[in-house]
Amino acid sequence: MTRWRLALLLIAGVGYAFLSHWMMLFHAAAPWAVAVLLGPLWLTALGIAGSRFGGWGLLAAALVGLAGFALVLNGEAGDPNRLYVLQHVGINALLAVWFGSTLRGDRLSLIGQFAERVHPLSPAMRIYTAQVTWVWTGYFVAMAVASIAVYASLSFAAWSVLANLLTPLMVVGLFVGEHLLRYRLHPEFERTRMVDAVRAFYGASSDHGARRRTP
């Protein structure tokens, strides 16, 4: 992934965040808006199901998603605001499970798997990447809980700000903050670029899915 592709990805992400906030506030009940806004949950489920369970998991997630979209387009999915909250909570819960499931026993943590694509890991790096995986797992759990709490106690507009604007900012802040803090805590670690970390994330996800599908 080149810097230009990363920049375009970030621009697209920012645009989608503001578009989602606008649609939720002014077109929340429109079937087309509901289908567009629930797309990220479906894509996340497809990616995780495919990487964890192979072709059958991918097919099951695809069928469930298509059935859900059919209900949305027919106006039979219920309160759209609750669907949006379900998406935000669901994505964070799925990511928490994905990250946390790699923290069992002596397995290499998910962040460790990403880092290993950039350079070999020393024992100290394995420990550190496991700690960072714990941090990300805790973040996703906290965000899921915060989403429910804000929706239950504040206005839907306030929840939309949290879900669509603050959430991606906090993800970027945690990612960049960890990158900058890493070399203060461990100056002996080999230095890498942030673009390498993003490239490793996409590459490791694709390779892991391919390995799961290989008989």
Other residues' Cβ atoms within 10 Å of the Cβ of residue 45: 20
Question: What contacts 165, CB < 8 A, 6 or more positions away?
Answer: 17, 18, 21
Q: What is the DSSP letter of 104?
A: S
Residue extents of the structural domains in the chain: 3-213
pLDDT computed for residue 33 by the predictor: 67
60-110 per-position pLDDT tens digit = 777 777 776 676 666 655 567 777 788 788 888 988 998 999 998 888 999
pLDDT of res. 1: 46
In degrees, to the nearest 5, what angle opens at C-alpha 195 toward C-alphas 184 and 188? Answer: 25
Nearest to 21 by CA among 142, 120, 166: 166
Which of 25-29, 54-58, 188-192: highest mean pLDDT?
54-58
pTM of this prediction?
A: 0.68
CA 100 centroid distance within chain: 13
Of the segments 39-53, 125-139, 164-178, 200-214, which one has the largest average pLDDT value?
125-139
Mean pLDDT, residues 36-44: 68
pLDDT tens-digit map of 161-172: 888 888 888 988
Task: Fill in the DSSP letter of residue 193.
Answer: -
